[in-house]
Structure 1
Amino acid sequence: MEYIDVLISKPSKGSSGKTGLWRTFKPVYKEDKCVSCFECYVYCPENCISLKDLKIEIDYEYCKGCGVCSNVCPAEAIEMIKEV
């Protein structure tokens, strides 16, 4: 039996440099609305959301503003606002 090596891609912060400058919309986290489901953390395609003391932190240097975190949040604790 012959085996084939397979590479699996995982999101990694900074693989394309600091990508936060690409953003046109910024996710803003509202801690008082958060229900600690961590769906945003699980689904962030760029690995820009981290957990610290059961609270989320968004790394704006790398966040591209795709809005996935806001769309999956059942409590609407993340709002996308226009970058100025």
Structure 2
Amino acid sequence: MNVELKDNIKFTTSNIPFAPSYKPGLVTKNSGWRNEKPVCDTEKCNGCFLCYLYCPDGVISKYGDKVEIDYDFCKGCGICQKICKHGAITMESEK
């Protein structure tokens, strides 16, 4: 695809720079440096998915009306716990 712009500048899809695309969050596993990990109590979880929306690393997935956390890539930042209005997510020590 060629697009001609003002002043005779041309861009083609072959010369537009791009970066590799990865899943949001960490590209590699956290290597065990996390101090705390989030744990979801499925009995308290009402499926509002605010934790899923606010997770900066994209490690929370929706399964039906519940969530699953990918601990391999979770940094343990605790944002999911702070945003959970039902107290379904708690931070537990890794050590």
TM-score scaled by structure 2?
0.72
Q: Does 1:31 align with 2:38?
A: no
Aligned length: 78
How big is the alpha-carbon RMSD for the aligned residues of Structure 1 and Structure 2? 2.2
Structure number with bigger Rg: 2
Residue 60 (structure 1) shift: 0.4
SS at match of 2:86: coil
- CA–CA separation in structure 2 for the residues paired with 1:43 and 1:11: 15
Residues 40 and 68, structure 1, Cα contact 8 Å, conserved in 2: yes
Residues 27 and 65, structure 1, Cα contact 8 Å, conserved in 2: yes
Q: Which runs of 5+ in 1 are unaligned?
A: none
- CA–CA separation in structure 2 for the residues paired with 1:42 and 1:59: 15
Structure 1 residue ranges (4+ consecutive) displaced by more than 3 angstroms after TM superposition: none
Q: Which residue in the other structure is 1:66 paired with?
A: 77
Cα distance, 1:37–1:20 mapped onto 2, change above 3 Å: farther
Q: Which has the higher contact order (CA 8 A, sep 6+)?
A: 1
Q: How does 1:67-82 map to 2 (within 5 A)?
A: 67-82=78-93
SS at match of 1:28: strand
Name whichever structure is richer in helix by fraction. Answer: 1
Percent identity reads 43
TM-score scaled by structure 1?
0.80
